[in-house]
Amino acid sequence: MTENLDTRRPDAPTIAGQYQPGEVEQRRYEQWVADGRFRASADSDKPPFTIVIPPPNVTGSLHMGHALDHTVQDALVRRKRMQGFEALWLPGMDHAGIATQNVVERQLAAQGLSRHDLGREKFVERVWQWKAESGGAILGQMRRLGDSVDWDRERFTMDEGLSRAVLTMFKKLYDDGLIYRANRIINWCPRCLTALSDIEVEHSDDDGELVSIRYSDDVVVATTRAETMLGDTAVAVHPDDERYRHLIGTEVELPLTGRRIPIVGDAHVDPAFGTGMVKVTPAHDPNDFEIGQRHDLPALTIMDERGVITAPGPFEGLDRFEARPAIVAALRAEGRIVAEKRPYVHAVGHCSRCRTTVEPRLSLQWFVNTSPLAKAAGDAVRDGRVAIEPADLAKRYFAWVDNMHDWCISRQLWWGHRIPVWYGPNGEVVCVGPDEQPPTGEGWHQDEDVLDTWFSSGLWPFSTLGWPEQTPELAKFYPTSVLVTGYDILFFWVARMMMFGLYAMDGKQPFDVIALHGMVRDEHGKKMSKSFGNVVDPLDWIDRYGADATRFTLARGANPGGDVPVSEDWCQGSRNFCNKLWNATRFALLNGAHTAGALPGAAELSTVDRWILSRLAQVTAEVDEQFEAYEFAKVCDLLYHFAWDDVCDWYVELSKPVLAAGGAAADTSRRVLGHVLDQLLRLLHPVIPFVTEELWTALTGGETVMTAAWPVADRARIDTGAEAEIATLQRVVTEVRRFRSDQGLRPTQRVAARLDGLAGAGVAAHEPLIRSLARLDAAGDDFQASATLAMPGEVSVALDTRGSIDVAAERARLTKDRAAAEKEAGQARAKLDNPAFVGKAPEPVVAKIRDRLAAAEADLTRIDAALEALPS
C-alpha cells in the first residue's frame, strides 16, 4: 500500500532506497571527527563523565573481545553526551613490553641478527621505528567500529608524559619502602628470558608423570619434575606425622649426587599426599623456597636461564625436558624408582605470551610490597566507593586482593621503562626521580631491567590526565566514571589500577564503577580459538554487514559478567534490523512524517496514536533503567522489539489507511510518526550510531543526533486503556493471519468475513483497520461461514473460505503435519518418562527435550484447530 501513499511535500527530505553501510560509515565518522564531536573540554561547566579505554597492545589488531568492549564503552559515552555530560572517552595504547620486543626480535632474526648485535640503544630505536611504521593498526580499526574517542588526547604508555608518571610512581613507592629488591622465587620464561608476574602465567592441566623415588630405605618422595632433585637440599615431613617424627634431624644421601641432606619437620607438608615426604628444592619451587627460608637451607640453582642443567655431572648441558627422562633412567638403573604413574594430569604454568612452560627460578628481582596497597583496594569496594557490576563478581575481586603476593615488577627486557636505580662502585644504590640527575662518575651504572608493562598501565586512569602534574583535566575528569572491561583481566589490570590510584591520588578511587562483561564465544558457547577454527574477525563482519550490525550483535548478547555468544546468522539478523529501520523511516519521509511543532494533546489523538506514544514512554523508561544497570542485552532487546514489532510492524501498518484517507487525522499521524521515529533513533544511537545518524538528520533536519537530547520518558503519555484496546485488535488480526497461513491462503487474497463481538471487546471503532490488516471483505448476501475463529473475550470471526482453498488437499496436508507433530511429542514424552534419562542427562539436555515436547503439543493444538475449522 506504501506506493499509493506518497503525500510528501516538495521539499521533503529523501534517503536512498536501500541502506548501504559502506557509503555511510566512513563519511559520517570523518565528519564527526572534523566537527570535533568527540572532544571533551576541561573548562566545561557540564558534569563530567569519563572512561579511559583499556589500552590495547601496540602489536594488536581488533578482535571480537575488543569489539565488544568498545561497543559497550561507546554506548555509555554517547548516551552521556546526549544527557548533557562533558563526556571524555580517552584512547591510547600499551607498549606491550614482551610482545613488542618479540615482534622486533623476529624481524631481526629474519635478517640473521639479534638485539645484541645492535646493542640496547640501537635496538630501542628500532622498536620505536617499528611502532611508527607498523604499530597501532588497531587505532584505525577502532574508527571502523565507530569509537567516539577524543583522538586529540590519545596516549601511549611510553610517551613522555606517561614515562614521567612511571618514574614518579616508582620513586614514591621506593621512598615509602613499598618497592624492594630481593632474591626470591619468580616465574621465569626460558624462551622470553624474563621474569613473569603470577598473572602472566596461564595454568592448564597437562599430561606428565609422577615418579616415586627411594632416597633410602626410610625415605621415598614423589615428584613430577625429577630433574630438580639435583638441587634438593632437604627432605621435609610434617612434624606431627608419627611415621617420620623419628627421622627429623637425621640426614639422607641424595641419589646420583653423593650429597647428604637433612630431614626437616615443616607444617607445610601434607601427610596425606603421596608418602607424606617431600623433596625440598629451594631454588626451583616457591613452596620449597619458603621451607628453605624457615629452616635456613641452602638454595642451589641447577639450571641456567634457558632451562639447561648446570649441575656438574652426567646431566650437565641437557635441556630440562631431556634431563628429566635421563635422570629417571639413571635412578631406575640403581633400583630407586618405586612407582611411575603416567600419564599424570597436573596443573602446569605456561607463559601467557609464548606458551612455554614456566620455570620457577630463584632470581634477584624488584618487587612491590602489595600488602597495604591491596588492603586499600579491597576497602574501596567494601565501603562502597567503588561498585562492581555485576555485584556477585566482587567475591572474585576480594579473593585476589585479600591474598595478593608481592608483585615482581622487573623484566629482563630492553623495551619498556628502565628501572630508575643506579648502582655505585662501593655498593651504593640510588633511586632517581624524574626531576633528578643520575649519579655520574666511574663505576656508576643503571639497572639493566625494565618495569612490568602492567606497572605503567596501572597508572592509566590518572597518568593519561596529566599526573603527576595537577592539570585541569585531572581536576575535571578524575575519578573516572566507569571502567568497562572483561572479567578475565580483573586481576591483570583492574586491581593494579585500584592499588596505584588510591595510593597516588590521596585515597581517591580511579573509577566509581567496574562494569565487567564476559568473553565472546561462538553460537554454541565455545571459546573462540584458532585451533577450533571458530575465530571471527569483526572487520570481516563490518565489511559485509556494517559496523552497526556488528555492534548490535555484540551488545544484544552482553549481559553483565556473562559470556557473549555470537554467530554470523545473528549478525545478518542485526543487518536486517538496520534495514527495517531504514525502510520504516523512508516510508515516513515519503508520506510526510515530520518533527515540526508540538505533539497534540491526548484528546486530539486517535487510540492508535495514544497507544504508540504510551509504548514509547514505557520503553524509554525501561531503557534508561537497564542502561543504568549495565544491562546492554536488555536495552537492545527492548529497542529491537519496540522498533520491529510496535513501530514498524504495527504502527506503520495501522497508519497507512489513515494517511491514505488524508485530512486532519493524517496530519496528526505524520506528526506522531515523526516524533516516535525521532525518539527511537535517539534511543538506538548509542549502540548503532551510523544508521541512526543518517536517518535522524534526514528526518529532523538536525545537525547530528550525537548532540540531540536523550529522550526522557513522558509518563503522562502512558495510556493503559489505549494499550489494552490495541492489544485486543492485535490479537484478532494475529489469529486471523495465523488461520490464513495455516489454510495456505495467499497474503494478498481477500476473504469475506463477519466480525462479531467487537463492541463488547471495545474495538468496534477499529473494524476498518482490522479488515484492512487481515485482508477481510464484508459479508455479502451470499456469505456462508465455512470456518469460525473464537478469539479471547467476546470476539469471533466467521470466514467464508469456499473456493479459496482446496479443502481435501489442505486436510491431507494438515493430517500429515499432525502425524509428524504426534511422533515428535511421543518421542519427547518417552525420554521424559524414562527415569534413567532424566536422572543422568545434563539439565540443559533435559530442558531441551521439555521444550521440544511443549512445541510439539502447541503444534498439535494449532493443527487440530485448523482441521476443525475446515469445511466438512
Read off the amino acid at residue 730: Q
Is the bond preceding 314 in cis, omega lying within 30 degrees of 0? no
Burial per residue of 772-784, b for 16 or more beta-carbon CB atoms within 10 angstroms, e otherwise: bbbbbeebeeebe
- 8 A C-beta contact, residue 407 and residue 372: no
Q: Alpha-carbon dihedral of residues 120, 121, 122, 124, nearest 10 degrees?
A: 80
Read off the amino acid at residue 552: F
Read off the amino acid at residue 625: E
Burial per residue of 408-447, b for 16 or more beta-carbon CB atoms within 10 angstroms, e otherwise: bbbbbbbbbbbbbbbeeeeeeeebbbeeeeeeeeeeeeeb
Coil, helix or strand for 97? helix
Torsion sign over Cα 455, 457, 462, 464: positive
State residue 396 phi and psi, 5-degree precision: -65, -40
- 8 A C-beta contact, residue 105 and residue 169: no
Q: Are strands 421-423 and 445-446 parallel, antiparallel or unpaired?
A: antiparallel
Residues 640 and 580: their CA atoms lie apart, in Å, by 10
Residues 720 and 718: their CA atoms lie apart, in Å, by 6
Query: What beta strand segments (E) does 578-628 contain?
Result: none
Coil, helix or strand for 334? coil
State yes or no: 530 annotated in a binding site.
yes
Residues 189 and 209: their CA atoms lie apart, in Å, by 22
- 8 A C-beta contact, residue 774 and residue 733: yes
| Beta-carbon count within 10 A of 688 CB | 27
Tell me the helices (H) and strands (E) count for the chain, helix number first.
Answer: 28, 29
Coil, helix or strand for 196? strand
Q: List all residues 6 or more positions away from 727 whose beta carbon is below 8 Å from its beta carbon.
A: none
Residue showing cell 572479567: 487
| Beta-carbon count within 10 A of 606 CB | 18
Residue showing cell 518417552: 830
Report the candidate in 102, 118, 30 with the shortest Cα–Cα distance to residue 59.
102
Copy the grid coordinates of residue 690.
Answer: 551510523
Residue showing cell 586491581: 495
Q: N- to C-terminal Cα distance for the chain?
A: 35
State residue 534 phi and psi, 5-degree precision: -120, 15
Residues 119 and 447: their CA atoms lie apart, in Å, by 16
| Beta-carbon count within 10 A of 716 CB | 10
Read off the amino acid at residue 158: M
Coil, helix or strand for 390? coil
Residues 287 and 289: their CA atoms lie apart, in Å, by 5
Burial per residue of 824-844, b for 16 or more beta-carbon CB atoms within 10 angstroms, e otherwise: bbeebeebeeeeeeeeeeeee
- 8 A C-beta contact, residue 365 and residue 188: no
Q: Are strands 251-253 and 260-265 parallel, antiparallel or unpaired?
A: antiparallel
Residues 208 and 345: their CA atoms lie apart, in Å, by 6
**Strand (E) or helix (H) holding 777:** strand 776-777
Q: How far is CA 573 from the centre of its chain?
A: 21
Q: How far is CA 781 from the centre of its chain?
A: 65
Q: Which residue ranges make up the annotated binding site?
A: 530
Q: Which residue ranges make up the annotated binding site for ATP?
A: 530
